[in-house]
């Protein structure tokens, strides 16, 4: 038996009787569960399934080789990732939100993931990096309400104490800059 993984030759075998690394064993187990639920397997799981060549007997004993090889492979979600990067970049440019707040709003697990997605989007779109943040909280309150958010929602998003304080801040911004009050597209 080889002491290196059949799929990843640079990794040591941890599943002794199957000639696979721990990551491959986990992918096969997850792929089998997805098939049992009627779902397609992920592209990474597909590379593991098809990258083993001839399956060892120990692997065939635990997993259904034919079913795994016939399984439909899900399409990669690069478009969704790019859109989340665009959202993260847009929020950073149009607001004073922290990267952690942006990560929470866009569904990233860490603030670093939001930063990397936004940076990738900026590079692909020929936008400046890091993004320039020039919008005050007062202006954000004005813009959010103009986009249909309630004053209470604007206050929560921008860390104001209440909806009325967000409204006063937006009104001050409108007066200072000669803008229409109430904001256009709002329901006041």
* pLDDT average, residue stretch 7-13: 78
Q: DSSP assignment of 42-110, as one string?
A: PHHHHHHHHHSSSPPHHHHHHS-HHHHHHSPBPPP-HHHHHHHHHHHHHHHHHS---HHHHHHHHT-SS
- Same domain (yes/no): 71, 82: no
- Same domain (yes/no): 164, 148: yes
In a domain, 145, yes or no: yes
pLDDT at 76: 61
- Give the SS3 label for residue 178: coil
- Same domain (yes/no): 56, 116: no
Enclosing domain of residue 171: 137-177
pLDDT at 112: 93
In a domain, 164, yes or no: yes
* pLDDT average, residue stretch 43-65: 83
In which region does residue 130 sit, left (phi positive, over 0), alpha (psi from -120 to 50) or beta (all else)?
A: beta
Question: Looking at per-residue confidence, does 96 or 22 come out higher?
Answer: 22
**Number of structural domains found in the chain:** 3
């Amino acid at each position: 038996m080889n002491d290196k993984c059949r799929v990843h030759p640079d990794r040591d075998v941890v599943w002794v009787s199957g000639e696979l690394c721990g990551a491959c064993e986990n992918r096969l187990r997850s792929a089998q569960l997805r098939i049992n639920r009627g779902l397609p397997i992920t592209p990474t799981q597909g590379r593991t399934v098809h990258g083993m060549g001839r399956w060892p007997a120990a692997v065939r004993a635990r997993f259904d080789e034919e079913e795994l090889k016939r399984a439909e492979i899900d399409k990669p979600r690069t478009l969704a990732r790019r859109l989340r990067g665009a959202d993260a970049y847009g929020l950073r440019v149009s607001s004073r939100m922290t990267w952690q707040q942006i990560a929470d709003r866009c569904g990233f697990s860490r603030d670093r993931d939001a930063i990397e997605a936004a940076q990738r989007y900026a590079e692909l779109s020929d936008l400046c990096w890091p993004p320039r943040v020039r919008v005050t909280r007062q202006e954000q309150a004005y813009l959010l309400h103009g986009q249909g958010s309630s004053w209470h929602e604007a206050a929560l998003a921008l860390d104001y104490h209440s909806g009325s304080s967000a409204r006063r801040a937006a009104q001050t911004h409108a007066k200072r800059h000669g803008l229409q009050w109430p904001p256009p597209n709002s329901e006041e």
